[in-house]
Structure 1
């Protein structure tokens, strides 16, 4: 007979030994690994759905022994069922990640073999990129110095970060990783940026970038010294990406921008607007810090006609 265990307001149908093992795993994720509440909720839901599938797949509620001997074929059947129910690649990939985490937990305790879940490839994820803002909307974002902030220095800080994302094409991590001594010389034409993989690139600086950072420095109540972050949180610590994401969310509401208007979309807008004004892909690749030109082609959403136009203008034999 199966046992039903209360999980929040949901019931999980499985044998008692499997339910107990699952509860222990969820507690360890919360108390030891301290995963976010949304992640815990997703893992709880994913394993509950998997147990429901196994009940039909096996003809009875699953036990710990059933889960310990899972085959790749069983996992493929589960993903196929979820796909038929309308789940997309991202949902399927996350669901498989939850199951894999649970099985690895059991394997560490000598209660299961996680080989099948490890060998199982997650569904290929669609390539989705943030849509660029229009040039007008991007400028509205970076020019709202006094919008939505109770303190002038915080408004200036946000404006400086947004200006770096759009004016220099930086990633959030790159902008927030700037040293306190950066951008102190108003005649500085470029700045070295350490990107992914430790690769350093030189990024040109527009006068508007200098002005935005200088205004932030003037109003910031904290001493911005070398060896410490340039951008600070309200209490003086390093500014966290989530704060900038939250400020962008407020900006979307105030300016009537779409949900696709994210901090990363400003970097995307930087590249797309340069390309639209005749910038060549190779230069944009260097500005973005991409290791491969193909990455830049996909990132900027260049269509075939535009690529052919660039090719015909640039290639000597075209």
Structure 2
């Protein structure tokens, strides 16, 4: 028994968020953890379940899955609650972690197909600036094209893209610095002439934005900083206009990985650019078209030529 009620847990959640900030967790990780815990406590209050006991955590996880949540979503939200309970135990707020040893939902082996060349061209075409568009509208189109091209060429995660600052981008040398990738690791990512041109066009229009002096690279067209949610919404609107079904910004990362290998790039190079430290992550992102790449490689090798 934890002896903590919902009100106690909500109050301690504020301190937990401060601890996450002190650990230099990314803004998105803080948000994801906070959301997961909040949803769990809300469910406990609604159903009358006791918080921070295994029965309620298992019941809530089952509820998420029964309601149609993907296994990955249920896993992430359950993890947030488990991280909170572990912190409570470490801080002496509860005698022991009640969720120690709790198993996460098994993840489905999803195969995510990369975007085709036609789909990519349609996405980019959807960002064309309308003739006579005012600077604010033109900047929005240039921004979205620059983001799409940058993500396509670098395979950078959406959260990493949003966190970029103007000073992180070196157009002359065609590279950008991702200062805090997943796990707090930084890296340099290269990009080519097309992304460079798109970024330059965006930056020229950015100069007249009222927040032009902000260090943030991406700016909203309504006088606001460009957020993680705004990136998802903007790109999903572009996909809708382009007729690309089943789009999610993360598909650009899968697409970048596939195109890298299909063009003859090395696996070690891809891992360095994408920020992966384990080969299994590379396989997870590139397995959808592995057979097609192997067939193309076989044709080039022409092993039957005696």
TM-score range, shorter chain: 0.5 to 0.7
Residue 298 of structure 1: aligned partner: 284
Aligned mates of 1:311, 1:50 — CA distance in 2: 59
1:22 aligns with 2:6: yes
Residue 203 of structure 2: aligned partner: 217
Aligned mates of 1:216, 1:86 — CA distance in 2: 42
Q: Residue 77 and residue 250 in structure 1: after superposition, are their counterparts in 2 closer, same or farther (change >3 A)?
A: closer
The TM-score, its normalising length taken from structure 2, stands at 0.65
Alignment gaps of 5+ in structure 1: 1-17, 52-61
Residue 265 of structure 1: aligned partner: 251
Structure with larger RCO (C-alpha < 8 A, sep 6+): 2
1:174 shift after superposition: 3.3
Residue 231 of structure 2: aligned partner: 244
Root-mean-square deviation (CA), in Å?
Answer: 4.7
Alignment gaps of 5+ in structure 2: 18-29, 302-306
Residue 180 of structure 1: aligned partner: 166
Residue 201 of structure 1 aligns to a residue in which SS? strand
Aligned mates of 2:35, 2:178 — CA distance in 1: 34
Q: Which of 35, 38, 41 pairs up with 1:40?
A: 38
Asked if 2 retains the 8 angstrom alpha-carbon contact of 1:100 and 1:114, the reply is no
The TM-score, its normalising length taken from structure 1, stands at 0.63
Residue 188 of structure 2 aligns to a residue in which SS? strand
Aligned mates of 1:140, 1:75 — CA distance in 2: 47
Which deviates more from structure 2 when the two are superposed, residues 23-32 or residues 298-307? Answer: 23-32
- Aligned pair count? 275
1:116 shift after superposition: 2.9
1:295 shift after superposition: 1.8
Q: Max radius of gyration: which structure?
A: 1
Which deviates more from structure 2 when the two are superposed, residues 290-299 or residues 80-89? Answer: 80-89
Residue 240 of structure 2: aligned partner: 253
Residue 141 of structure 2: aligned partner: 155
Which deviates more from structure 2 when the two are superposed, residues 161-170 or residues 176-185? Answer: 176-185
Residue 145 of structure 1: aligned partner: 128
Q: Residue 47 and residue 301 in structure 1: after superposition, are their counterparts in 2 closer, same or farther (change >3 A)?
A: farther
Q: Which of 157, 164, 167 pairs up with 1:171?
A: 157
1:26 shift after superposition: 5.0
